[in-house]
Amino acid sequence: MRNYEEPVYLISVVAKVLNIHPQTLRQYEREGLVEPSRTEGKMRLYSEKDLDKIKMILRLTRDLGVNLAGVDVILRLKQRLEECEAIIDELRSNIKTQNKGSLVKRVSSFDMIFVDDKK
């Protein structure tokens, strides 16, 4: 089974699968929207992850009318959001491990905090 990020598709295959001109893929690369891997012979190779990103670019440009500068902003914000979500997940995990047997208990959508004043 192939890795999601393993570069295996030539530009001609990607263009045919996505029904776009290879020059469009080259333009996306020039704009910095996608970064395909290169073989030693400088041939572009795209991964499944790259294909998904290109599909998103096509949806934004064709369906929503976003220009390539707008697509760049959206992709950067999406990447930053994913990074922040990863940090939040890590912090939540740290809190769970540090607060085993803590005084904070989850009840529905509210947190109930019990304070022990006996010191």
**Domains of the chain by start residue, with CATH:** 7-100 (1.10.1660.10)
pLDDT tens figures, 6-61: 999 999 999 999 999 999 999 999 999 999 999 999 999 999 999 999 999 999 99
pLDDT tens figures, 70-116: 999 999 999 999 999 999 999 988 888 876 655 555 555 555 555 55
pLDDT at 111: 58
Average the pLDDT over 62-77 and give the result. 96
The CB-based long-range contact list for 71-79 (8 Å cut-off, 24+ gap) reads 71/33, 72/31, 72/32, 72/33, 75/33
Alpha carbon of 117 to those of 61, 84, 114: distances in Å? 60, 36, 10
Alpha-carbon distance 113 to 44, whole Å? 56
| Count of residues making up the chain | 119
CB 9 within 8 A of CB 46: yes
